[in-house]
């Protein structure tokens, strides 16, 4: 016993579409992994630049359009201690 030729063609096309989608998802996941790795590396470079700038200028907020900066004032670090 056999299924009809039309039914066989139908399920072959469905299987081909499924395989194509699975391959595309795998490719996208590989790209995602590579992009996440690049993001991690870029964050390391950014952190290094922040350290360099902080050594030169102290804690500042930088205007990304003009390059001007303002010092960040640290809040006083007073602690209230209660006698028990």
Q: Does some domain include residue 52?
A: yes
- Tell me: pLDDT of 82 over 80: no
The residue segments making up the domain with residue 20 are: 5-71
Q: Is 22 inside a domain boundary? A: yes
Q: What is the pTM of this model?
A: 0.67
The tens digit of pLDDT for each residue in 10-53 reads 999 999 999 999 999 999 999 999 999 999 999 999 999 999 99
Classify residue 81: in a domain, yes or no.
Answer: no
Q: Looking at residue 81, what DSSP letter applies?
A: -
57 Cβ neighbours under 8 A, 6+ residues apart:
69
Whole-angstrom Cα distance, residue 70 to residue 53?
13
Does some domain include residue 78?
Answer: no
80 in a domain, yes or no?
no
The length of the chain, given as a count of residues: 84
Does residue 78 or residue 61 have the better pLDDT?
Answer: 61
Sequential DSSP letters for 46-74: HHHHHHHHHHHH-SEEE-TTT--EEEPPP
pLDDT band at 77; cut points 50, 70, 90:
low
Supply the pLDDT for residue 83: 72
- In this structure, what token pair is assigned to residue 50? 């922040």
């Amino acid at each position: 016993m056999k299924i009809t030729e039309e039914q066989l063609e139908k399920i072959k096309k469905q299987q081909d579409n499924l395989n194509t989608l699975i391959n595309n998802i795998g490719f996208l996941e590989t790209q995602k992994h590579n992009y996440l790795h690049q993001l991690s590396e870029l964050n390391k470079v950014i952190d290094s630049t922040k350290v360099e700038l902080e050594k030169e200028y102290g804690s500042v907020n930088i205007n990304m359009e003009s390059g001007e900066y303002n010092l960040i004032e640290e809040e006083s670090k007073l602690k209230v201690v209660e006698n028990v």
